[in-house]
Amino acid sequence: MSNNNEAKVTFFSLEIAKWIIILTLLLTAIVGNCYYQETKLYLRIIALMILVVISIFILLSMKTGKTALIFIRESKAEMKKVVWPSYQETFRITVIVIAVTILMSLLLWGLDNILVRVVSFITGLRL
C-alpha cells in the first residue's frame, strides 16, 4: 500500500514540475520578446515558436495534455457531423428573430403604457 502512495506522490510531483517548466518557458518567451525588441522580428518569432513547441510537447506528455488532445479530436469529428444552415435559411431566421423582437418590444411598450395609466388613475396622480 505504501508503494502505491509513493508512486502517486512521485507522479503528482512530476506533473507539478512539468507545469512549472511549461510556465517558465512561456514566461521566458513573453519576457524575452519584450526584452529583445531591438532584435529582428523573424529571430524573435523563431525563438518564440521554439519555446511554444517545446511547451506543447511537454504538455502532450502529461495526462492533461492527452485528455485535451482527445477532446480536440472528438470536437473536430463532431464539427464534421454538423449540418450548417444555408444562406437563405440563416437570412429567414434572422428576419423572423428581428420581427418577433420588434413585435414583443411594441407589445411590452403598450402594456407598460396601459399599466402606467391604470396606476395613475387609481392613485389620482396626473401624468
Task: Give the residue extent of every domain in the chain.
Answer: 1-82, 83-127
pLDDT at position 100 is 98
Q: How much is the pTM? A: 0.52
Q: What is the largest CA-CA distance in the chain?
A: 84
Q: Which of 64, 53, 69 is nearest to 18 (CA)?
A: 64
- Write out the chain's pLDDT in tens, 127 residues: 456 666 666 767 888 888 899 999 999 999 998 888 888 998 999 999 999 999 999 988 888 888 988 999 999 999 999 998 999 999 999 999 999 999 999 999 999 999 999 998 888 877 5
| Alpha carbons 21 and 33: distance in angstroms, whole number | 18
Residue with cell 464539427: 79
| Alpha carbons 100 and 89: distance in angstroms, whole number | 16
